[in-house]
Copies of this chain bind each other. A is one copy, B any other.
Amino acid sequence: MLTITFLPSNNKVEVPSGTLISDAGSLAGIADLHLPCGGKGTCGRCLVELVEGEVERGISHLDSALANKNLVMACQTRITSDITVRIMESRDASMRVVGDSHFLISDEHLPDMASLTPLVRAVELKVPEASIEEHYSDWQRVVRELEKQLGQVEITTDITVLRTLASTLREQEGNITAFIQQDADGVNVKKILPGHNIAGIYGVAIDIGTTTVALELIDLASGKIVSSRTSYNAQIRLGSDVISRIDYARTPEKLNELNRLVLESVNDLIRDAAADLDINANDINAAFISGNTTMIHLLLDLPPRYIRESPYVPTVNTVPNITASEIGLAIAPNSSIEFAPGVGSYVGGDITAGLLCTEIPTNSDEVFLFLDIGTNGEIVLGNADWMLSCACSAGPAFEGSGIKCGMRAAEGAIEYVEIKDSGKDVSYDVIGGDKPAGICGSGLICLLGELFVHGVIDQIGHFNTDIDSNRMISVDNKSAYVIEWATNTADGRDLIITEADIENLMRTKAAIYSACSLIMENVGIDWNAVSRVYIAGGFGRYIQIHDAILIGMLPDLPHDKFTYIGNSSLTGSYIALLSQEHRELLAQIASKMTYIDLGSDPRYMDAYLAALFLPHTDINRFPTVARLI
């Protein structure tokens, strides 16, 4: 993996060799790296200054012309070494795709920063010298001082701490700082350093996603995030989704290969985050990790095979406490690593951790819905007393994949569409304001709603070929609708949406809605009983609630009932790393939650088919939409 550093923000991201600078910028959340032409190398708006490092330049005429000026086009230039680039026009806002989610969740969900109870904390001790009369061993005298501060608890340590204790204790006349981990079973001393006023005690919160790995280095005394890092999960080259990874891992050797790759990704982030702060990775003494069940199995070198074989059970949902050295995590070897507990094969610790960012685990009076939308969608319904969860395969359509004109939410993407004059005319907003290069997820949701409301497509998503509009064309003998003509698009080609695209989008929205409605049916409540809908995950951030309701993806509720909470898995790990109360809450969440396997529920197919309409076969479910059509 190579590191690219973006100036002036100094944001860093790790990517494989050959990655386009623009893709790296997108991963690093560089909001102002615009691709108006959709990354075709034609507009020259994505020029960046190459400050340091080697790249493979593109072959467009513009690129050739720039060869001597240290300027490269981000969308055409591939990274072949560690590089540093400067974003032109100083528009780099340092917005990160992952890692900014703490700003999206309300303070009430964060632990009290004034009285943190992190996984590991520092205790300063003054240990008296031994005396002939007393004969307490070095360790016994440490224990006695700890007991004065902590009360009568069982205090243990490990051999590595004892190996340096005799000299550490005598280095500053018995003044030491002990890093301790305390739980219901007692206290474990993880490290003893000579003297007081230890500079810092650090932990890492880690979210291991199928595609992206995100890490926050935390000062455990203050709760402050001192470094944030994200990179691809290096496993992606061996399979893009959970199922393909499980298939790959069928032999111990291949499982081990996946294990090494994800460890490499995580350990690179750890070392880079440590380097950001000029500390050693060995100075990090705790880790809290969340991730889906398959990712956690691969991180632990556990065979994931039975996750995808009926009856779909993992080896473990609640990972026993382990130390860094046991799994090869590159922090202090005897550090405890805790994991957000999973519920089942398809509702993992990323979901239980995510719930810490919501009212669900603490409020018994109302009912809440939690939606983590990605390639897989996970749904939780409930409150502090009961929780139901399920998973659905949403597919990547809203991420622009599998849609002819789909693209990520970057400059040049249509993010808002209006259909006028019974389908004859279209107006739209483009991110950046230039010619459109494609349509991003929010634009697609909006487009689908507009096409439907204005009668361009019918309830089942078929084009109404009778409408009087020259935008209705035929491509390869199939109907399509022109959003913008070639003359006005960035790449000089018609920007169209096909019936296959619409089907794809409808399958995705139907999967999400039907899963939600079925889980509610299981409890016997309807949408109006839901006080709040939490939307988590990278994609959710760009959804326009109005549009999502219009197409029947989200329920027809007042808009202020929806809250976006970002990468709640990472935020949940951050919270759990800092708060004993929340760690206990996580265990309660996992034990209370019931998992429903939609695949084995005969009603699911009915609910899914009923949701393959716009907005739904049962229009009464969408009263505000009904008034529009």
Chain A: residues with CB nearer than 8 A to chain B? 129-132, 134-140, 154, 156-160, 162-163, 165-167, 185-186, 300-303, 305-306, 310-318, 320-322, 326-327, 342-345, 595, 597, 600
A167, closest chain B residue (CB):
B303
Q: What's the nearest-Cβ distance from chain B to residue A165, in Å?
A: 5
Contact between B158 and A322 (Cβ–Cβ < 8 Å)? yes
Residues on B with C-beta less than 8 A from A138 are 306, 313-316
Is chain A's interface secondary structure helix, strand, loop, or mixed overall?
loop
Cross-chain contact B326 with A140 (CB below 8 angstroms): no
Q: Are B135 and A322 in contact (CB under 8 A)?
A: no
Nearest opposing residue in chain B for A134, CB measure? B311
Q: How far is the CB of A25 from chain B (nearest CB, A)?
A: 38
With contacts A162-B300, A165-B316 known, what are 8 further pairs, Cβ within 8 A?
A: A135-B597, A136-B313, A137-B313, A137-B314, A138-B306, A138-B314, A156-B321, A159-B326
Given contacts A163-B302, A322-B159, contact A316 B139 (CB under 8 A): yes
Copies in the assembly, this chain: 2
Q: Whole-angstrom distance between the alpha carbons of A310 and B130 in the complex? A: 9
**CB-CB nearest in chain B for A301:** B163
How far does the Cβ of A460 sit from chain B's closest Cβ, in whole Å?
Answer: 32
Q: Show 22 A/B contacts (Cβ-Cβ < 8 Å), sorted by A.
A: A129-B311, A130-B313, A132-B310, A132-B312, A132-B597, A135-B343, A135-B345, A136-B313, A137-B342, A138-B313, A139-B315, A154-B185, A156-B320, A159-B301, A159-B302, A159-B322, A159-B326, A162-B302, A162-B315, A163-B303, A166-B305, A185-B186
A317/B600 contact (C-beta < 8 A), A132-B310, A162-B300 known = no
Shortest Cβ distance from A363 into chain B, in angstroms? 25
CA distance A186 to B167 in the complex (A): 34
Instruction: Give, as a whole number of angstroms, the nearest-CB distance from A600 to chain B.
Output: 5
Checking B157, B163, B313, B320 against A159 with a beta-carbon cut-off of 8 angstroms, the contacting residue is B320
CB of A132, distance to nearest CB on chain B (Å): 4
Out of B303, B310, B312, B344, name the residue touching A166 (CB < 8 Å): B303
Which residues of chain B have C-beta atoms less than 8 A from A134's C-beta? Answer: 311
Q: Could you say which residues of chain B place their CB within 8 Å of the CB of A595? A: 135
